[in-house]
Amino acid sequence: MDDKNMISWSAMITGYARSGDLDSARCLFNEMPERNVVVWNAIIAGYTQNEKYSDVIHLFRKMQQVGSVKPNDITLVCVLSACAQLGALDLGKWIDLFIKRNKVELKLFLGNALADMFIKCGCLAEGMRVFETMKEKDVISWSIIVTGLAMHGYAEEAFSYFFEMLKTGVNPNEVTFMGLLSACTHAGLVEKGLEYFKLMESEYGITPQIEHYGCMVDLLSRAGRLNEAEDLINSMPIKPNAIVWGALLGGCRIYKDFERGEMVVQRILELNSEHSGSYVYLASIYASMGRLDDSANSMLKMRKNGVLKVPGCSWIEVDNRVHEFFMGDRSHPQADKIYSKIRELGPRMKIAGYKPNTDLVLQSVDEEEKENALSTHSEKLAIAFGLVNTSEGTTIRIVKNLRVCSDCHEAAKIISKVVKREIIVRDRSRFHIFREGSCSCNDYW
């Protein structure tokens, strides 16, 4: 084309981004002689759709530095989505102030994104405030609140908002019921969960999807009703996936039903031979039974098959910058200070009652090395970084990509007591708010 205008440039960038080719999209973006808000939105939305949330925030910072292009609703929705995923509360708050200062109308999509950001960053009250100020609310708006209350452990309040939604004439959708079922899961309300699971199809004609079945299996398994959980899986009209079987495996781990657990592992590996959790589970139960050779063979088989364990990753935002940590990570510029803080906390935590759960470490090493391995889990590194870089009394907020392990959960409770700080951890399934040596989940997660 001889004449390439803003529309053609943005169309090409959008096309590349939607096909997952972000490198080509970025090259075109960098080549452009000038850019307007539509082009900026094309590249920012592309990174959002491909879940490159750190890059979304970096691009937005560059857009701000340019200064000549003002963000619009689409820009803000994309950036708020990234903030929600990474727990970047400071930037989310800045956008909230930008909306107020510029008297931007809080339309449906923007209001939903802002409420979702606050809730996923652990600011439930702020999310509720945004929700209440919205002139228009749809099923997504209500589902955000129901799911948010569930994630924070407020099951009864989630049910209350569900009934309030029905009064306004808004019908629930699949996401709403996922919120209700997860509320039941986090509170151990089995009968209530079964009631809502039946209600979604009988009353609202919503066919349960595999995610709903997974949630129900998780609910039954955590309550120790493993027979019912297995029966539900076997009666599913759709083929259960590794996630559904994995929910049952979690119950087998909690209630030490090793025989059923071995069977479940075989089912999972038939569906997904690269399911690292299955190999780790087998190694763990064999080790607990004293079958150390079998435990080692399970980990060896995992390595031979080229299966990689999903690495634990934690994010923390300090001074408008998101910092990322992996287990045993020493790549951060402040690694020396972080590890020094961990060493300093160790004796204080033990005096306060902390006992490292070394059973979680499967390597054949001595107890001291196992304790050292536990001390470098990603959320512990993030907590230590937060303690080093924030003033006394400041709440520490962390996002974890996996479910928090039992040792880190116990450690966070003790640290909150020792340093007199509130620590908020959002893991894959819910929020944990640690205060004065206890957690909002009441140790049920």
> How far is it, in rounded angstroms, from Cα 85 to Cα 113?
11
Residue 263: count of CB within 10 angstroms of its CB: 16
pLDDT at 352: 96
Tell me the sheet residues that pair with 396: 423
42 DSSP assignment: H
Mean pLDDT over 427-443 rounds to 94
Which candidate, 273, 279, 274, 276, places its Cα nearest to that of 261?
A: 279
Residue 253: count of CB within 10 angstroms of its CB: 17
Number of helices (H), then strands (E), in the chain? 22, 6
- Phi, psi angle pair for 423, to nearest 5°: -120, 120
Cβ neighbours for 262, distance < 8 A, ≥ 6 positions apart: 282, 285
- Is the pLDDT at 24 greater than 70? The verdict is yes
pLDDT > 70 fraction of the chain, expressed in percent and rounded:
98
Sign of the dihedral through C-alpha 189, 195, 200, 204 = negative
Sign of the dihedral through C-alpha 339, 344, 347, 353 = negative
Mean pLDDT over 381-404 rounds to 95
3-state secondary structure 290-348: CCHHHHHHHHHHHHHCCCCCCCCEEEEEECCEEEEEECCCCCCCCHHHHHHHHHHHHHH
Q: CA–CA distance from 68 to each of 26, 37, 61, 92 (Å)?
A: 20, 10, 13, 21
- Is the pLDDT at 112 greater than 90? The verdict is yes
Q: Are 258 and 252 in contact (CB under 8 A)?
A: yes
Cβ neighbours for 10, distance < 8 A, ≥ 6 positions apart: 38, 39, 41, 42
- List, for residues 51-71, the tens digit of each pLDDT value: 999 999 999 999 999 888 999
Is residue 372 very low, low, confident or very high in pLDDT (cuts 50, 70, 90)?
confident
> How far is it, in rounded angstroms, from Cα 406 to Cα 412?
10
- Is the pLDDT at 274 greater than 80? The verdict is yes
- List, for residues 344-366, the tens digit of each pLDDT value: 999 999 999 999 987 766 665 67
pLDDT at 167: 97
- Specify the CATH class of 209-310 in words: mainly alpha
Residue with tokens 């079998």: 294
- Is the pLDDT at 272 greater than 70? The verdict is yes
Spans of all domains in the chain: 209-310, 313-439
- Phi, psi angle pair for 433, to nearest 5°: -110, 110
Is residue 49 very low, low, confident or very high in pLDDT (cuts 50, 70, 90)?
very high
pLDDT at 282: 82
